[in-house]
Amino acid sequence: LPDDFALFELVGTAGQSFGAFLGKGVSLRLTGGANDYVGKGLSGGSIAVKKSPSFDGRPNENVIAGNACLYGATSGEAFISGVVGERFAVRNSGASTVAEGCGDHGCEYMTGGTTVVLGRTGRNFASGMSGGVAFVFDADGSFEANCNPSMVALERVMSHEEQVRTSDPRTWHMGCTDEELLRRLITRHQLFTDSTLAAELLEHWSSTRARFVKVIPLQYRAVLQSRA
């Protein structure tokens, strides 16, 4: 984090709207869990939520935060080491966020930003999604059945070298290749949450990348392509 960020380390269970509308320059690090609306309206701040040391389960198999996390976020970042509830990153318009699984209606009406899910999603993922990009780790090939295809396309995540060789940089999301962006967010997720899942994915990156699915809205892809 930049030197001018104020860092707050918290322990326990947060109530509703933890870090809501958090502004630039403030970083919240929670060890424990949280209820609904983590990072609602996030506006430039940084949030990380990780399990308590006393919890011995696997975070990617257990819920650590409630529904509507990152609802209406506009900027900033949030890393949640565990599964979140329904409507994750709904109406996200500019924030970057990582979670290790989510419930139904993830990325619904998302208009910008980047969402990474390192595990299973619920049904109706990307319904009404018109902007931004999501990356989903599809370990068992079940994701396509849970995605709403009405406004999005599903693509493979190309290697950095392949994307540099075959595409115009003006068509890249956030101005960098998909592999570069995805790996950077997973690295930050591991750094701020001590996620063992993220560490495993990074350790076996050559095979990990091939199992991610890129979700990109058709309208947004057309806009990027028109730049070239």
pLDDT at residue 3, rounded to an integer: 75
For the chain, residues with pLDDT lower than 70 are: none
pLDDT of 137: 98
Give pLDDT tens digits for 101-153.
999 999 999 999 999 999 999 999 999 999 999 999 999 999 999 999 999 99
pLDDT on residue 227: 86
Amino acid at 63: V
Give just the sign of the alpha carbon dihedral 218, 224, 227, 228.
negative
Residue 56: what pLDDT? 84
Which of 83, 17, 67 lies closest to 47, judged by CA? 17
At residue 5, the pLDDT reads 85
CA dihedral 43, 45, 46, 48 (to 10 degrees): -70
Give the pTM: 0.97
